[in-house]
Amino acid sequence: MRERILIIDGAMGTMIQRHKLKEEDYRGERFKDWPSDLKGNNDLLCLTQPQIIRDIHKQYLEAGADIIETNTFNAQKVSLADYHMEDLAYEINLAAAKIANEAVKESGKQAWVAGAIGPMNKTLSLSPDVNNPGYRALTFDGAVAAYYEQVKGLVEGGVDLLLIETIFDTLNAKAAIFAIKKYFRDTKQKELPVMISGTITDASGRTLSGQTLEAFYTSVMHAKPLSIGLNCALGAKEMRPHIEELSQIASCFVSAYPNAGLPNAMGEYDEQPEDTAHYIEEWAKEGFVNIVGGCCGTTPDHIRHIAEHVKNLIPRPLSVVEETISL
């Protein structure tokens, strides 16, 4: 990241959708009699359709990705409760990490596996009940316990780093950070690098829980992350001013993986790979980024174009932060 701009992969969900999987595909033989619907539980595919997930990883590696994310965006017990699969959280994360590592080995490329830790479907900062603003559907300790189990599975599965991504509630992210620190403290292992990526929900430049970008950055920097960045919600065109701002304040590496533009009326993404790559190339020329890739709607073709457009560009230099020594 000091010598060249690294490439992170694109959307997993977009590629899974291309397979047009049916309910029975999600169930597989093991879960054929599961009492609730399972279609849409993409993380479960690590157990029931591992070859599909492995193939998607390999497509991104062939397209030029240096970092691939595990298929574990919702793989913690809080989100898996929607499918009554809380008890499978550890197993899914363990399997996902192993699948990603297998894909890297089979590709013959040098690449890193990032354990993807996405947002929960419950938030610590906002009430789901408009009539009771003080109510919370989740406790901080509950979030920590769920993330701890996810981290355990990812690390034991062999990930190279951990990625807390698509953060719309910073308190949830702080629970993930706490869980990571606690896991490595409990196991007496050397900590893995942590990447942190937030989500700016609209043109206001704030997260869903109301923080400005600078406030978000300040809130998570105690984790001493490898990188801080933004992903999802916005296309590259709309994300540009926020990445520029982040690049001016961050003392670590900066990452960005936007959506393929904004969704159309049908909720689909139309931005072509060369267009996404053009926007990101402009960011790189301005010296804003160290890691780039794609989020919703992006494909291996998007990643291939992005990699080609930034391969000869200089990454953002790390700022020199003066340390104040108290005597």
Q: Report d(CA 228, CA 194) in Å as an integer.
A: 9
Q: Report d(CA 263, CA 13) in Å as an integer.
A: 15
The CATH number linked to 233 is 3.20.20.330
pLDDT in tens, 72-111: 999 999 999 999 999 999 999 999 999 999 999 999 999 9
Range of the structural domain that residue 251 is part of:
6-310
- Whether residue 315 lies inside any domain: the answer is no
The predicted model scores a pTM of 0.94
Closest CA to 111 of 63, 61, 163: 61
Closest CA to 224 of 168, 162, 292: 162
- Whether residue 147 lies inside any domain: the answer is yes
pLDDT in tens, 168-181: 999 999 999 999 99
181-212 as b/e: b if 16+ CB within 10 A: eebbeeeeeeebebbbbbbbbeeeebbbbebe
Q: Is the pLDDT reported for residue 52 higher than 60?
A: yes
pLDDT in tens, 209-256: 889 999 999 999 999 999 999 999 999 999 999 999 999 999 999 999
Number of domains in the chain: 1
- Whether residue 323 lies inside any domain: the answer is no
181 to each of 82, 99, 157, 186, 294, how far by Cα in Å?
A: 27, 25, 18, 9, 28
- Whether residue 220 lies inside any domain: the answer is yes
Evaluate whether 124 touches 171 at the Cβ level (below 8 Å): yes
Tokens of 275: 């267009």
